[in-house]
Amino acid sequence: MGVPAVAAAAAVALAAGMTTPAAAQPVRSAAAGPAASGPSAEVAHQLTLITGDRVSVDAKGRIVGFRPAKGRAGIPVRKEIRDGRTLVIPADAQRLIASGKLDRRLFDITELNRPENRRAQQHDLRLIVSYRGAQSARAKAEVRDAGATRIGRSLTSLNAQSVATPKADAADLWQALTSEQAGSEQRTTAAGVDRVWLDGKRKATLDRSVAQIGTQAAWSAGYTGKGVKIAVLDTGVDGTHPDLVGKVAAAKNFTSSPNLRDRIGHGTHVASIAAGSGAKSGGKFKGVAPDATLLAGKVLGDDGFGDDSGILAGMEWAVAQGADIVNLSLGGMDTPEVDALEAGVNKLSATKGVLFAIAAGNEGSGAGTVGSPGSADAALTVGAVDVKDKLADFSSRGPRVGDGAVKPDVTAPGVDITAASAPKSEIALEVGEAPPGYTTISGTSMATPHVAGAAALLKQQHPEWTYTQLKSVLASSTKPGAYTPFQQGTGRIAVDRALTQSVVSEQVSVGFGVQQWPHTDDTPVTEKITYRNLGTTDVTLDLTAAGTGPKGKPAPAGFFTLGAQQVTVPAGGTADVALTADTRLGGAETGAYSAYVVATGGGQTVRTGAAVEREREAYDVVVKAIGRTGKAAVGAEVSLDDLGVASDGSAFTSAFKNGVATLRVPRGTFVLNGTVVTDPKKIREIDWLAQPKLSVTKNTTVTLDARRAKPAAITLPVKGTKLRGLQSEFSVSTKYDEVTYGWMVDGKGTLRTAHVGPKITDGSLSQRWAGNWNKGRRATTTSRPAAGSSSSPRASPVSTRPTSSPR
C-alpha cells in the first residue's frame, strides 16, 4: 500500500470569503475529501478514469480518495458537484471534453459508480473509440498495443471499435489515444483518433392498443407487414411462444449473457406488440404487423442492461440482415453532445435508409427528459398515451437537451399493454400472467413497437420508401391530442390515416432556436415547411397555424404566421410555405412557445410541429482572464452555475479567445468558477479563481487576474511529516441547490487560489481543506473537529493549534 499517511481535513464555515490555509486542525471524517485517503477514509469502491487515475468513493458515492496514475503526479484535478452529479476532471483532459472529443461520462463519478457500470468495468475500462483520416490504421495499432488492451467489436458505421483494457493499463491507453500539443502539456487526440466514448450501459424503457391506432383498416386492405423485416434489439425474443413461432428469421446475442433466452421478458413482449400472430389468444392479442418477419438481437443482458458497443453492433447486424425497421425500446440519460448510439442511428438511417423507432423514455412530466438514443435527429421518437389517448404520466417530454428541438416525434399506446410473455421470465414472475401466456405492462417501451409495426404496414404498401418517407408519413398523419409538440410530437399515430396519406411534410418539426431578450427589437424569424406529394394527382391544401405559450395558453395573435393560407402541391412534386415566428409579441411571458401547422385537403390532414424559445431576461457576462505576467492568459476555463429556482442544474460555459469569454446567462445569482493557465508548458501550475456569488442584473464584466492568486499549502504542526497531497473545495448552498467546486493536487503540483468579488455574509458559503502527509512508515492519524471563520475575502489563513499528537 506504500507509505502510510496522516490524513487531516479542516471544515471551515466562511462568513466572508475563501482562504488559503497555512495550518489545519485534523478531523477524522469520510468527508475529508479525495486527499484524505488514509486510515480514516471508508472506501466502498475504486473507480478508474480513462487517464488511469483512480478515484475512491464511499458507500454514498462521495469521493474519499484520489490516486494519480504512474507518470501523472502533479497534474491538478478539478472536482465539481451539481444537480446530484459529481465530476472529477484532470487538467489535461479539460479541453478534450470541451471540444467534444472525450465523452464527459468518462469523468462522471456518479455515472461510473452506477452498479451496472461498476459490474461492467470491474476489471477493465471499456470504451468506444472512433477513427478518421489517413492515420486511422496507425492509431488502431497503437491502441491495440497499449498494455494488455483487447479490441472487441468492429463498429463499421462509425469507423469505431469497442476497446477493453485492464485498469492497470489505462494510463498506457490514455497515452495511445492522446498526444501532447506542441509546446504545451495540454493534450489532444492522437493522429487518427476521432472521438472516445464510454461504453456505457442502457436499459429497457419499461414502466388494448392495436385497434386504437387503426390497424384493422390496414389488415382489411391486405397490409399485414408481409415481406417486411422488423429488428427487435432488446432482451431477446422467445421464439417458442405460440404468437412468435416461425417468425424469428435470425437471432444473435450481443451481451455477456450465456445464451439467447429472454430471462427478462421485455423483448418477447415488445416483439409480440410489433408482429405477434395472436395465435395463443385466438387473435385477440395480435400484433400490429402480424405477418412481418422478426430479427431478434439480444443487446440487453439478463440483468436488463446492455453495453453501448453491443447495442451499436446489434444495429449494424440488423441492417446487414436486411432490416427495414429497427425497434429500440431502450435508452439512457441524454446529454447535449451526440453520443455513440445517436451517431450510429443518424449514420445508419442516412446511409442505409432504415427507420429507427426509439422509445422517448419514462422519466415523467418534467421538461427535457427525453433520453438517448431517442434524442437522435433521425430517430422516430415515441412517447406513450393510454387507451383514451391521454398522455401517460411517465412519458418523457421535450424539448431536447442542448438545443430545444422538438422531441418526441409521435405518441402511441403504452399504458397497460397486454402481449406475449416469456415463461418464467422476470416480468412474468413479477406481474403474473393474465391470461396465461401474456403479461400486461406499461412504458414507452410498449408504445415504440406499435410505431415499428405501423411502419412495417406502410413499408409493405410502399416497398421503395426509406426512413424519410416512413417517418414523414407516420408523423404527418397523426391524431392530435390536447398537448404541445414537446409532450406528444405531432400526436398519436393513426395507421388508417397513414395508409391513405399522399401529402407529407418533409419536416416532422420546425425549430426557430432561441431568440434573445429583450424582445421589443426582435426580428421575426422565418423557416420553410416543404410539402411533398407522393401521389399522382395535384392536391390543394388549406393551412392554419395555432400556437401555445409556455403556460399552456394560446400564443398571441400573429406570433406564428404563415406565408400563405393555401398551397397546391403538384403530383410527384413539392411546394414550400413560409412559417414565421414573431417573438416581439408575448409581453413579459418568456419560455418555450410551440405551434402546429395543419394542412387540410384532398381528404387528408398533414400536421407539422414548430417551436421557438423566447429567452427570459438575460445578459452577457464577459470574463477576462489575465495570466501571472499581466498579459491575456493563454489558457482559461470558466463556468457559471445558476443558483436560482429556475435552474435546470446545468452550467453555462464558453471558450476563451485572446483571454476573453462571453457567456449568455439569465438574470440571477451564479457561482463563477474559473481557472487560469499562464504557461501551457506548466499544466501542473493552476491558478483557481472563483466568485462564489455573482449577481447578474445587467451586462457584466468579471476579471480573473492570476496575479491575485496565492499559493495553497497546508502545514501539519507535527515534526517529520511531509505533505503528499491536498484538496481545496468550496460549496454554495441555497434552498434550491448546492454547488461544489474543488481542485486536488499532489506534492508535485501547485495550486494558487483567490476569492473574487464581495464578501459573503449570509452563511451560504463553506470551504474545506484536506491533506495527506507521510510520516515514516507508521500510519498515524490526528483528529479533532475544527471550525472557524474569516473576516475578509482575502483574510489570513485558517490556523489552529493541535490538541493531540501522533505517537
CB-CB contact of 91 with 76 (8 Å): yes
Q: How much of the chain, in percent, has pLDDT values that exceed 90?
A: 76
Confidence of residue 717 (pLDDT cuts 50, 70, 90): confident
Grid cell, residue 686, equals: 493552476
At 47 the pLDDT is 97
Is the predicted pLDDT of residue 239 greater than 70, yes or no?
A: yes
Q: Which residue is listed with cell 417530454?
A: 397
Between helix 308-320 and helix 340-352 the angle, nearest 10°, is 10
Confidence of residue 35 (pLDDT cuts 50, 70, 90): very low
**Catalytic, out of 266, 269, 450, 755:** 266
Q: Which has more pLDDT, 807 or 447?
A: 447
In this structure, are strands 410-413 and 380-385 parallel, antiparallel, or unpaired? parallel
Query: pLDDT tens digits for 15-26?
Result: 345 544 333 333
> For the residues 757-776, what does the mean pLDDT come to?
86
Q: Which residue is listed with cell 395508409?
A: 499
d(CA 727, CA 280): 64
pTM > 0.85: yes or no: yes
Query: pLDDT tens digits for 502-546?
Result: 999 999 999 999 999 999 999 999 999 999 999 999 999 999 999
What lies within 8 Å, CB to CB, of 485 at 6+ separation is: 398, 406, 509, 594, 595, 596, 609, 610, 611
**Catalytic, out of 53, 169, 207, 234:** 234
> Kindly report the CA angle at 768 between 792 and 675, in degrees rounded to 5?
75
Active site residue 234: yes
> For the residues 602-620, what does the mean pLDDT come to?
94
Residue among 336, 386, 454, 437 nearest 207 (CA): 386
- CATH code of 123-200, in short, is 3.30.70
Domain 511-515+518-614, what fold? Immunoglobulin-like (2.60.40)
Residues in the chain, overall count: 807
In what helix (H) or strand (E) does residue 580 lie, and over which residues does it extend?
A: strand 574-581
| DSSP-derived 3-state class of residue 796 | coil
Query: pLDDT tens digits for 400-433?
Result: 988 889 999 999 999 999 999 999 999 999 999 9
**Catalytic, out of 277, 421, 445, 728:** 445
Active site residue 445: yes
d(CA 678, CA 659): 11
> For the residues 217-227, what does the mean pLDDT come to?
96
Between helix 136-144 and helix 170-177 the angle, nearest 10°, is 170
Active site residue 241: no
Is the predicted pLDDT of residue 156 greater than 90, yes or no?
A: yes
Domain ranges of the chain: 9-26+630-807, 123-200, 202-476, 511-515+518-614
Residue among 805, 757, 747 nearest 781 (CA): 805
d(CA 280, CA 379): 33
Max distance between CA atoms of the chain, in angstroms, equals 95
In the chain, the N- to C-terminal Cα span, in Å, equals 21
> Kindly report the CA angle at 524 between 523 and 525, in degrees rounded to 5?
110
| Integer CA distances (angstroms), 619 to 524, 623, 697, in order | 21, 13, 7
In 649-719 the beta strands, taken as DSSP E runs, fall at 651-653, 660-666, 668-677, 685-696, 700-705, 710-711
Residue among 25, 203, 24, 160 nearest 783 (CA): 25
Residue among 777, 746, 787 nearest 37 (CA): 746
Query: pLDDT tens digits for 671-684?
Result: 999 999 888 778 88
Confidence of residue 724 (pLDDT cuts 50, 70, 90): confident
DSSP state of 35: T
Domain 202-476 has what CATH class?
Answer: alpha beta
Q: Which has more pLDDT, 365 or 557?
A: 557
Query: pLDDT tens digits for 485-511?
Result: 999 999 999 999 999 999 999 999 999
At 208 the pLDDT is 52
